[in-house]
């Protein structure tokens, strides 16, 4: 059985298509990365899948339950860390854990044991009586993960779990995600960090302007333009390189995908001298996942 | 289901009700409004206390309940909350129950003030029943105010005050219904608070304008109406909060 099946999901806000006929499926036990620039529709998709909002059209199921009609049954088996969500700031870490456990219908004794364990694993045990508003951002995020795990869910939704965290906090969370996956849980993770996704995920779905552009393994994604090379060039001023095939702007720099580096570099030099440009930087490399991402999303990432 | 409702109630009590300002405001505000109206007039304590009680119960039961939803939308705790396996109904009941408990506890204050002033309660059971039903009805009304899917606490406050203040003046609190002209009685009959005040007058002063059964019937009917409306509307608007 697939853990998540989305079929033709669409959702508009005031005429803007936030999610546009999105279809994909997530296999049981995999870490599925949902990657896209700001405003691509990642959070909207997560909200539809967790039953927080309803799609305008299309349907989806989570662990075999319809996300609209069998919302509650699906929610019993999933854990969610919403983007930018908060625990109750005036309640202690412990009270927040107990509240979540009660809402999942977990018996008190079991809940206490589980909460103890989770807070220890996430290294926030010694803060369990502190009010949440006194925690650092990294600690809050670890608490959000602990809350999502209190019901021992089969499937986890993590909406940008590491965004805004420092390197150390982000690493703790990534390690934990891998461990959760080894325990056999399915994980749906959104991110706009290419490296994070390629490190963690079994498969990646790329979304841009509400549409799925590709769903592949990180390695296959790279292979998609794998035969080619990326030539990165920087000029002393902004130019129009639209005459070249397969080019993506990236701020002041341009990335040209090619199979023949020699020809491309010669034509760049030629272009520069014809237009009186100075080349201020030139790089040749195999395309990174980020290049793939930029190529697929049309180079509008601010990542 | 009951345990989940209680978990939400407990959360609300700890987050919103057990705060100094909320508690003090809950008691002082009706008292001040009341004194402002009565100062300089010679009215008996037996007439004052039922009105003070009605106003206290009404204001406390509708003080926090309307702002929980917009506040949690803005604070971004709501998405986490509804990602748990709970129904909208469970959440609404949890919000109403907290407000209900708060209303009942604070309503003891005017009753005690009355006793200190020598005004006893002639029909304590009737009054107790009215307080319970009234607290429930007004808490549900509070939840009805927050059905507009906004994250602005101020919008909901404005709406609720727009309804609450006029109700205070047409419910027989400051002027007995029996002193009102016919049109005044007609207007008063639209307010559920009228029926609570009437029962309170019966229990403390010993007489009521309407037959007691009618007061209870209409108070219960408004409680049910507010509850059903609040649940139905929240079920519809919750998904529009995100
Ligand atoms: N409640 C809403 N009302 C109006 N527009 C919305 C709403 N929610 C999302 N949008 C719009 O839908 C689009 C997709 O938003 P979404 O939050 O899903 O993007 P995202 O991929 O999660 O972005 P980010 O990386 O910034 O979190 C955006 O243009 C956003 O402005
Ligand atoms: Mg997002």
pLDDT in tens, A174-184: 999 999 999 99
Nearest residue of A to residue B3, measured between CA atoms = A102
CB pairs under 8 A between A and B: 70
DSSP annotation of A107 reads: -
Judge whether A80 is closer than 8 Å to chain B, CB to CB.
yes
pLDDT band at A301 (very low <50, low <70, confident <90, very high): very low
Q: Cα separation of A117 and A125, whole Å? A: 9
Question: Could you tell me if residue A8 is left (phi over 0), alpha (psi between -120 and 50 degrees) or otherwise beta?
Answer: left
CA distance A102 to chain B (A): 6
How many angstroms does the Cα of residue A120 sit away from the middle of ligand 2? 29
Model pTM?
0.85
* Distance (Å, whole) CA B130 – CA B60: 15
Q: Is 80 exceeded by the pLDDT of residue A204?
A: yes
Contact A7, A58 (CB under 8 A): yes
Who contacts A87 (Cβ-Cβ below 8 Å, separation ≥6)? A93, A96, A132, A140, A143, A144, A147, B77, B80
User: Side-chain half-sphere of B140: how many Cα atoms within 13 Å?
Assistant: 24
Residues A194 and A218: their CA atoms lie apart, in Å, by 10
Q: Which residues of A touch B71 (CB under 8 A)?
A: none
Residues of chain A with C-beta less than 8 angstroms from the C-beta of B79: 47, 52, 82, 85
Query: Which of A52, A85, A88 has its CB closest to that of B15?
Result: A88
Instruction: Confirm or reject contact between A54 and chain B (CB < 8 A).
Output: yes
Per the listing, tokens 């906090």 go with A169
Gap between the Cα atoms of B175 and B163, Å rounded? 19
Torsion angle, CA of A4/A161/A45/A290, rounded to 10 degrees?
-100
Nearest to A156 by CA among A187, A120, A117, A190: A187
Give the per-residue pLDDT at A194: 79
A284 touches chain B (CB under 8 A): no
Q: What is the pLDDT of residues B161-202, one digit of tens each?
A: 899 889 988 998 888 888 889 999 999 999 999 999 999 999
Mean pLDDT calculated for residue range B26-37: 76
Q: Is the pLDDT of residue B39 over 90?
A: no
A266-294 tens-digit pLDDT: 989 998 898 888 999 998 877 666 677 77
Chain-chain contact of A102 with B7 (C-beta, under 8 angstroms)? yes
Tell me whether B161 touches chain A (CB under 8 Å). Answer: no
* H/E run at residue A65: strand A65-66
Q: Is residue A225 over pLDDT 70?
A: no
Q: Which residue has the higher pLDDT, A67 or A167?
A: A67
Rounded distance between C-alpha atoms, residue A196 and residue A189, angstroms? 10
Burial of A262 (0-12, 13-18, 19+ CB in 10 A): exposed
pLDDT band at residue A300 using 50, 70 and 90 as cut-offs: very low
Closest ligand (CA of A83): 2
Contact state of A52 with B87 under an 8 Å Cβ cutoff: no
pLDDT in tens, A88-130: 999 999 999 999 999 999 999 999 999 999 999 999 999 999 9
- The alpha carbons of chain A give a radius of gyration, in whole angstroms, of 22
Q: What is the ipTM of this complex?
A: 0.88
Strand A229-235 vs strand A279-285: parallel, antiparallel, or unpaired? antiparallel
pLDDT band of residue A198 (cuts 50, 70, 90) is confident
Q: How many CA atoms lie within 13 A of B69 on its CB side?
A: 32
């Amino acid at each position: 059985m697939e853990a998540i099946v989305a079929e033709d999901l669409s959702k508009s806000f005031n005429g803007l298509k936030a999610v546009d006929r999105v279809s994909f499926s997530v296999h049981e036990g995999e870490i599925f990365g949902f990657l896209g620039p700001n405003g691509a529709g990642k959070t909207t998709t997560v909200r539809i899948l967790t039953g927080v909002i309803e799609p305008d059209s299309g349907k989806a199921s989570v662990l075999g339950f319809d996300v609209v009609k069998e919302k509650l049954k699906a929610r019993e088996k999933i854990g969610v860390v919403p983007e930018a969500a908060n625990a109750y700031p005036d309640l202690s870490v412990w009270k927040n854990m107990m509240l979540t456990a009660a809402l999942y219908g977990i018996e008190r004794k079991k809940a206490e044991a589980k909460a103890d364990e989770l807070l220890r694993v996430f290294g926030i045990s010694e803060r369990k009586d502190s009010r949440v508003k006194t925690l650092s951002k990294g600690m809050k995020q670890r608490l959000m993960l602990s809350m999502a795990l209190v019901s021992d869910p089969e499937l986890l939704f993590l909406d940008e779990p590491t965004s805004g965290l420092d390197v150390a906090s982000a690493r703790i969370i990534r390690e934990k995600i891998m461990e959760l996956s080894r325990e056999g849980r399915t994980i749906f993770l959104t991110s706009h960090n290419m490296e994070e996704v390629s490190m963690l995920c079994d498969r990646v779905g790329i979304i841009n302007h509400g549409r799925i552009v590709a769903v592949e393994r990180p390695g296959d994604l790279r292979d998609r333009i794998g035969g080619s090379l990326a030539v990165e060039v920087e000029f002393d001023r902004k130019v129009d390189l639209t005459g070249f095939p397969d080019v993506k702007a990236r701020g002041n720099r341009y990335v040209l995908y090619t199979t023949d580096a020699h020809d491309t570099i010669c034509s760049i030099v030629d272009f520069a001298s014809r237009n009186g440009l100075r080349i201020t930087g030139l790089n040749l490399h195999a395309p990174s996942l980020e290049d793939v991402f930029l190529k697929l999303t049309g180079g509008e990432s601010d990542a | 289901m009951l345990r989940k409702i209680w978990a939400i109630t407990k959360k609300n009590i700890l987050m919103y009700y057990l705060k100094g300002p909320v508690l003090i405001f809950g008691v002082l505000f009706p008292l001040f409004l009341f004194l402002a109206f009565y100062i300089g007039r010679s009215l008996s304590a037996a007439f004052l206390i039922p009105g003070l009680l009605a106003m206290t119960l009404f204001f406390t039961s509708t003080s926090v309940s309307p702002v929980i939803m917009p506040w949690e939308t803005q604070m971004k705790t709501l998405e986490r909350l509804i990602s748990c396996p709970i129904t909208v109904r469970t959440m609404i009941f949890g919000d109403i129950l907290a407000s209900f408990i708060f209303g009942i506890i604070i309503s003891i204050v005017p009753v005690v003030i009355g006793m200190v002033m020598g005004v006893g309660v002639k029909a304590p059971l009737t009054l107790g029943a009215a307080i319970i039903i009234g607290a429930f009805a007004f808490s549900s009304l509070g939840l009805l105010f927050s059905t507009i899917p906004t994250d602005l606490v101020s919008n909901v406050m404005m709406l609720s005050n727009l309804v609450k203040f006029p109700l205070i003046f047409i419910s027989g609190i400051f002027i007995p219904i029996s002193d009102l002209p016919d049109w005044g009685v007609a207007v008063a009959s639209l307010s559920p608070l009228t029926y609570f005040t009437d029962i309170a007058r019966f229990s403390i002063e010993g007489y009521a304008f309407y037959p007691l059964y009618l007061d209870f019937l209409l108070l219960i009917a408004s409680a049910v109406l507010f509850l059903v409306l609040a649940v139905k509307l929240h079920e519809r608007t919750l998904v529009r909060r995100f």
